[in-house]
Amino acid sequence: MSKSRVSRRHFLKGLAASGAAVALTGCNTSQPTKAVSEKTNILIITADQLSKKGVGAYGNPVAPTDHIDKIINAGTRFEQVHTPYPLCSPARACFWTGHLPQVTGVTGNDSANIPTELTTLGDIFSKAGYNCVHYGKRHDFGALRGFDATPETQLPLTAPEAFPVDYDSREDLFALQKALEFFQDPGEEPFLLAVEFNNPHNICSWVGAFEGPHGDIPGIGELPELPDNFEVLDWESLPAGVAYQCCNHFRVKQASHWTDKNYQQYLKAYYHYTGMGDTCIGQVMKALEKSGKADNTLVVFFSDHGDAMGSHRLVTKHAFFYEETSNVPFALAGPGIPKGKSVDALGSLCDLVPTLCDYAGLQAPEGIYGRSLMPLVQGDEPADWRQEVVSQWFSERNETTDMPARMLRTKDYKYTVYRENNDEQLFDLKKDPGENYSLVNDPAYSEVLADMRERFKNYVAATNDNFYQQSVTVDPQWRSHKPGYPNHTGGSAMDAIIEKRKAINEAKAARDLQGA
């Protein structure tokens, strides 16, 4: 096998070797962060759609995340980092800039590019002399400015019948190949390397492949148990934007009539794709170790957002803010980072930019929502540290249903509000970690609800969030059946858009043929 290329045979062999050892060194717990050289390399690794609840190091006993766990256990983990938006592109625009969506302007997977005046992480580090390189999933809408970003490319990859692969896994193979090539000759200048893997995002197309109720799947193996919060206790109490997820997006529609066993199969597939991503990450970490750069490299691992993992009979992610989709893994490991430490303070993916700037001794942009996590790593929580963290939703694509929604989470409570019908939810996360019982109408929580509403009002004013000016666009046909996914009939808003695009393309092709 060529030294500059990883073969697909080797890659597939690696997928089976989930227990392969991967070393991570350079975790000096005695060296204070301020003494870390600005020449320290930085390796950012992300896994798309990986929930914190889907990671072994965070307590999941069946998660196939051996290599991710090694990174987390070798450094400092964060328990309460939340995505600013549970969707790929908006989340990425946020963590590459430190700004919330109302500033980046990326409020869907088809938005315009971020404003040119916004400073990105790549801008900062490239100007500071770092070799900024990016492989893998982009979806950045200009937020990767400053990086030498290689185009997403698919390589052939076979898969068992139970776990079909799509572009996600095929692009991961290419991203892995490029990362391994990079570490064969990383050069002498300091680097900021971002390797962004899609998996376990491949679970999305798995839902489509196994749409509707079905029986056993040959070769799928032993099935995991369903989560404790699998059942929906009261469909009528849910916000319309949640109760009609089957009408909002085709993935929940495709799973709407699944049996309990089908949801177990979904979880098994989710873990399978998680394992594929974990194996890729393990090979990157092994290449870092072999390069001789591990002792002087900070490793940052996180996910852009989570996955419903079958909670509340939901799949994938969309306009809901349950912990499975909002709470993501986030860890730092390397020079100056304490080993085996856990931080429970509230964090946001927007904190990535100021945290890495602080670590490297660089100036972070002013006026961003994000804050440096380094004081928390050092065990010195600032007196003014945030008491709540937020997440947003507007739309998946501008052509589909617009459902402005927000989450505001404190240590103990979660408040969500939807512009549609002014629907609200309130959860006591200490007593009800599965978020099964909304307390909006519980008199015993009237003061808590008033406090959360006031906190949200203050957040809106402080950040110039245009939530109250955002309009709701929901076709009545997507609210026509009785609330609840098992009651779903017909298509979804996303299906309608796909059909509309298909008709437009066919009409264009016909015109082109006539003009030829």
- Please give the C-alpha separations between residue 177 and each of 55, 169, 173, 279, 355, in angstroms, as whole numbers: 24, 13, 6, 13, 28
**How confident is the model over 272-289, as a mean pLDDT?**
98
Ranking 84-93, 210-219, 264-273, 492-501 by mean pLDDT, the lowest is: 492-501
Structure tokens at 22: 């991967």
In the block, tokens 């799949």 appear at: 315
| Pairwise CA distance, residues 70 & 56, whole Å | 10
* Chain segment 391-448, per-residue pLDDT in tens: 999 988 766 778 999 999 999 999 999 999 999 999 999 999 999 999 999 999 999 9
The per-residue pLDDT of the chain, averaged, comes to 91
Strands 297-302 and 41-47: parallel
Alpha-carbon dihedral 143, 43, 342, 93, rounded to 10 degrees: 10
pLDDT at 6 over 70: no
Dihedrals phi, psi of 195, to nearest 5 degrees: -120, 110
For the chain, the C-alpha Rg in angstroms (whole number) is 22
Our CA angle for 367, 301, 118, nearest 5°, is 25
Residues in a beta bridge with 333: 299
Structure tokens at 62: 């069946």
Q: Is the dihedral of CA 350, 335, 18, 226 positive or negative?
A: negative
Please tell me the predicted confidence (pLDDT) of residue 509: 75
Please tell me the predicted confidence (pLDDT) of residue 516: 66
Start-to-end Cα distance in the chain: 48
**How confident is the model over 231-251, as a mean pLDDT?**
95
Please tell me the predicted confidence (pLDDT) of residue 399: 65
- Best CA proximity match to 142, nearest among 194, 68, 209, 89: 89
| Pairwise CA distance, residues 363 & 124, whole Å | 8
* Chain segment 83-119, per-residue pLDDT in tens: 999 999 999 999 999 999 999 999 988 888 999 999 9
- Best CA proximity match to 46, nearest among 195, 192, 201, 172: 195
- Please give the C-alpha separations between residue 250 and each of 211, 270, 291, 326, 436, in angstroms, as whole numbers: 10, 18, 44, 20, 24
| Pairwise CA distance, residues 310 & 307, whole Å | 8
Please tell me the predicted confidence (pLDDT) of residue 229: 98
* Chain segment 319-351, per-residue pLDDT in tens: 999 999 999 999 999 999 999 999 999 999 999
**How confident is the model over 125-140, as a mean pLDDT?**
96
Please tell me the predicted confidence (pLDDT) of residue 16: 38
Q: Determine the residue type at 239.
A: P
